[in-house]
Amino acid sequence: MRLATWNVNSIRARVDRIVDFAVREHIDVLAMQEIKCKTDQFPFDRFEEAGFHVAAYGFSQWNGVAIASREPLTNVRTAFPGMPGFEKGHNGPDAPQEARAMGATVGGVEVWSLYVPNGRSLGDPHYYYKLDWLSALQQYTTESLAANPDLALALVGDFNIAPTDADNGDPAVVPGFSTHVSPPEREAFAAFETAGLQDVVRPLIPTGYTYWDYKRLKFPRNEGMRIDFILGSHALADAVTGATIHRDERKGELPSDHVPVVVDLDLEGPDDDDRPMIF
């Protein structure tokens, strides 16, 4: 299985480019974030013509997630247990949920396409919402792997966190003054390792960015950030055979400000012809 994640920053603006990438790179499962459209506005037909099954979830021109797969998607969900919501000026646990998470099972893998809240600024209500959102996701991960330690689980998407200083090449993002690099955010990201996940791309690609702001020539200057990840359980990590960060997708006509991150998975495992026959 070739699994990819991409914050597409408006599916309707870039659908031709995204479908072309998926076909050209032989992607089997593509998790998308920031589709920026209502569910019924998603260009399902373009993906279906290319041989994909698609589930999408969006409310408006903000947020939104989707998964396209060569195989049928099962157990599709649009929230994980305990996922908090957010609404400006709304206090309390019953704030409406945003379209930020979609989970589905495909080819024996539980895949979650995730668009983690940005946080906006340190001390902003959205920042605390981000931390609560990550905490609930970590709790779901912990409980899922405790119940099924051999679960092939993939949390993929735009985490809006640069976990290390080496992941931040944007001089405008300053520790102590900016979101994405604050200690609480980094601690929340690290908690997924405690929950039983690991970054399955970094061992193969230790450096490199996945996002460059459109402003101030950030891309030509390579002032980017590594904030898009594929986190996997041990069952998923053990199946990884390759990884790619497609930097060139930031070039050309109408690029997203993020690029695809891809892993190859051998989910069949090695042939075992020496097993005893059972009659």
pLDDT, tens digit, 9 for 90 and up, residues 212-258: 999 999 999 999 999 999 999 999 999 999 999 999 999 999 999 99
103 is written with which tokens? 């989970």
**φ and ψ at residue 187, rounded to 5 degrees:** -65, -40
**φ and ψ at residue 235, rounded to 5 degrees:** -65, -35
pLDDT score of 279: 30
pLDDT score of 51: 98
Once rounded to an integer, what is the mean pLDDT over residues 205-211? 98
pLDDT score of 174: 96
Q: Confidence class of residue 272 from pLDDT cuts 50, 70 and 90?
A: very low
Once rounded to an integer, what is the mean pLDDT over residues 89-115? 93
User: Which residues lie below 8 Å from residue 120, measured CB to CB, with a gap of 6+?
Assistant: 126, 127, 179
pLDDT score of 269: 60
pLDDT score of 239: 98
Once rounded to an integer, what is the mean pLDDT over residues 47-64? 96
Mean pLDDT of the chain: 95
Q: What would be the CATH architecture of the domain defined by 2-265? A: 4-Layer Sandwich (3.60)
Residue 217 exposed, middle or buried by CB count within 10 Å (0-12, 13-18, 19+) = exposed
Check whether 275 has a pLDDT greater than 70: no
pLDDT score of 89: 80
Once rounded to an integer, what is the mean pLDDT over residues 147-176? 98
Q: What angle do CA 240, 245, 247 make, to 5 degrees?
A: 170
pLDDT score of 273: 44
C-alpha 168 chain-centroid distance = 18
pLDDT score of 222: 98
**Locate tokens 């929340």: which residue?**
188
pLDDT score of 179: 98
pLDDT score of 71: 98
Once rounded to an integer, what is the mean pLDDT over residues 6-24? 98
- Closest by Cα among 109, 150, 111, 148 to 234: 150
For 135-149, write each residue's pLDDT tens digit: 999 999 999 999 999
pLDDT score of 270: 53
- How many angstroms separate the CA atoms of 99 and 60, rounded? 9
Check whether 2 has a pLDDT greater than 70: yes
Q: Are 162 and 173 in contact (CB under 8 A)?
A: yes
The domain locations on the chain are 2-265
For 190-201, write each residue's pLDDT tens digit: 999 999 999 999
- Tell if the pTM clears 0.85, that is, is over it: yes
